[in-house]
Chains A and B, each alone.
Chain A
Amino acid sequence: MPDRALRVRNPLPVVAVVVIGLLLAACGGGAASSATPTINLYIYPDGSGAVQQAIDTCNAASGGRYQISYQTLPTGADGQRQQLVRRLAAHDSSMDVLALDVTWAPEFAQAGWILEWTGANQTQATTGTLQGPLATATYNGKLYAAPFNSNTQLLWYRSDLVPTPPTTWAEMINMSTALAQQGKPHYIEIQGNQYEGITVWFNSLLASAGGSVLTPDGSAPSLGAPAITALTTMQQLATSVAADPSLSVQMENDNRLAMESGTAAFELNYPFVYPSMKADKPDLFQNFKWAPWPAVTAGQPAHVTIGGINLAVSAYSKHSDLAFEAALCLRNRDNQLVGAIKGGVPPSLSDLYTDPTLIAAYPFAAEIQASLATAAVRPLTPAYQNLSIAISHAVSPPSSINPQSAESTMASELKDALASKGLVP
């Protein structure tokens, strides 16, 4: 019987052709242009157009020596970090300038992924820059990034409900309780979800109470009595009538929405709420005022944790000199002003805060500058991610905090985290 089984064509050549075809299609990616070097800027997506404008300005000013290309990262900080880490760990040479969140510089520096800023570059990056942002870009005494923009929280309140703003947390909670008894809107809006935001809240309270998360050399947890004070404050607020019922799931945006809905009297949040209130609720906006962050101890001003973005140069970049230059251009005075006004992100250069153009868009410029000058930073350690998770888990939900046990749990978890021992939850 003829072996008609072999009428079936051998599938292997077909498969090989398909695979090779796919590979060829993939390799069709553009050849590297040898004319003008491209500096790839990896940064968050900016809907306001401020970043693009900065890029265009710098490209024009480069005199043909380089062209910056806008490569978007995901919107969320975690997504950005993942993308950057994955590619840096693979020594990807197509990344040049990286936009880092303020907590990442020590981690990236320790791993050898970003270059140190020295000499003239260092001088240019540090001159005129506010102390707080600069601290976040420094690790082991070396500068690893140039501060780009910054951010800090203020106390926002409704002047129709609160004639004079409170100066301490205890005072604020009392005011809120009084308002509640009168049946008026009284919530204190703050970020209580189990994420980075609650770590920021705890860090600010801790610094304002005179303590810090780690010892100065970053090798061991410090916590102690100030931490107990901070934890007690959080627990008191969360269990008082001042707490929004959704406190334990709230993030910055939820606080903004609650304030705009009229149920809240106080809000601890970033300046983005100001233009938003103006646009969304013009009637409430009439009475929408700001004040510095409340202190923990009367007479000792608060230290608010700063946020923001720093620009670093990848250690695997093929054009590191040009990358430094591009980064310095992107964060120069003019571009930071554009970023502040168009993009809504406070600048990191101190003299911009006395610029009339900025003050026109930021009536609260003075308060922000003051806050940035006395800012608290989150622990500057490569193990920061682990620390943050340990902290946010220990203080969440805020209503169930037992200050003594939370402090000791935190201390032991932080010790493990610093040694990168054990699992993170």
Chain B
Amino acid sequence: MTAVLDDPVERTSPAPPAKAAKLSAGARAERRLGWLLCAPAVLIMLAVTAYPIGYALYLSVQRYDLRFPSEAKFVGLSNYGAVLSSPYWWDAFENTMIIAVVSVAIELVLGMALAIVMHRTIFGRGLVRTSILIPYGIVTVVGAFSWQYAWTPGTGYLSGLLGGAVPLTDRWQAIAVIILAEVWKTTPFMALLLLAGLALVSEDLQKAAKVDGASGWQRFRYVTLPLMKPAILVALLFRSLDAFRIFDNIFVLTSGGHNTGSVSILGYDNLFTALNLGIGSAISVLIFICVAVIGLLFIKGFGAAAPGSDLRD
């Protein structure tokens, strides 16, 4: 395995003109090795998802209500038209965007703070780090139950906080509760990824900046943050992809009632409750397109690098 890695330096410089069209034996072997190593992952991913994704796409262009199976027929893009012209879709989209943007923003700030605490706290390290990771490890529906009971009047300890109203039935209060549940649950995920980025910032640079008279905040803003950019972007990318598809917390807290549903809840209701496979699949594909747009935005727009993409082919 080490034969192909003998010369990392040569790799980054342009190939000399002598090795023009034909690949050397070494490069060919490297290619084969690359494909072989990727094979198990690729095979299992393809085998499991090719048919389901294909089937979902196929269903989205059918009018197919499971209760009337004999009436299934091809309808082209009319399902998409029905979804995009429905106020329910746009309400759900609005809810989803608000919840996703606000919760990711809060998680970024909190996650950074937690990463710093995990990195630099001078005592009680084990306790702090374990405590931070526990919310992430709790089963999502369990965490959601905890919040639901806490906010239920009578049963819960938080219910009196907002002046006796019933938070879970007021749209904006319920959305705030949902965001709280999301943030509590997934900030550790951000913190972990940010910690990895934080740890790569060299101590020497920090010391040098200190010697030059930079304050703690300035050091953070001008030394740490720029060096953490790749880690921040990867954390944001994955977190945003997930935030847009939020489901579990909303399902347990409000079941999407009182106009708090996300696009995933809408898809679930139409697919499983109304048994309208055509519409439900169209919603899923639209969710996928939105998520793909978000992903592209991060990768192309902000430069969240796909790892290994800087290695020339």
Residues of A within 8 A of B (CB): 1-8, 10-12, 14-15, 19, 78, 82, 85, 89, 107, 110-112, 193-195, 245-246, 248-249, 254, 257-258, 261, 382-383, 385-386, 389, 393, 396-397, 420-425
Contact = CB atoms under 8 A, between A and B. Distances in A.
Contact of B66 (A111, A257, A425): A111
Contact of B257 (A1, A89, A194, A258): A194
Given A15-B40, A261-B154, A382 B68 contact: yes
B279 interface: yes
A393 B88 CA distance: 12
A424 B169 contact: no
Contacts of B256: 425
B89 A423 contact: yes
Interface of B: 1-4, 25-26, 29-30, 32-33, 36-37, 39-40, 43-44, 65-69, 82-83, 86, 88-89, 91, 152-154, 164, 166, 168-169, 255-259, 261, 266, 269-270, 272-276, 279, 283
B273 A385 contact: yes
B261 A425 contact: yes
Contacts of A7: 1
Contact of A6 (B29, B257, B258): B29
Given A385-B273, A423-B279, A424-B273, A246 B152 contact: yes
A386 B164 contact: no
A66 to B, nearest CB: 30
14 contacts: A3-B3, A14-B40, A15-B39, A111-B69, A193-B257, A245-B164, A249-B168, A254-B152, A261-B154, A396-B258, A423-B88, A423-B266, A423-B270, A425-B91
Contact of B88 (A193, A245, A425): A425
Interface-central residue, B67, B69, B279, by most chain A CB under 10 Å: B67
Given A5-B3, A382-B67, A420-B65, A257 B29 contact: no
Nearest to A399: B169
B274 A386 contact: yes
Contacts of A386: 274
Contacts of B33: 5, 8
A82 B280 CA distance: 15
A40 B218 CA distance: 69
Contacts of B86: 422-423
A89 B276 CA distance: 13
Contacts of B153: 245-246, 249
A424 B269 contact: yes
A12 B257 CA distance: 49
Given A194-B258, A195-B255, A110 B68 contact: yes
Contacts of B255: 194-195
Given A420-B65, A423-B89, A15 B43 contact: yes
Nearest to B168: A249
B46 to A, nearest CB: 12
B27 to A, nearest CB: 11
A394 B257 CA distance: 11
Given A1-B3, A107-B67, A424-B273, 18 more contacts: A1-B26, A4-B2, A4-B3, A11-B36, A14-B40, A15-B44, A110-B68, A194-B169, A194-B257, A248-B169, A261-B154, A396-B257, A397-B169, A420-B65, A420-B276, A423-B82, A423-B283, A424-B270
Contacts of B69: 111-112
A314 to B, nearest CB: 16
A111 B68 contact: yes
Contact of A420 (B4, B32, B68, B169): B68
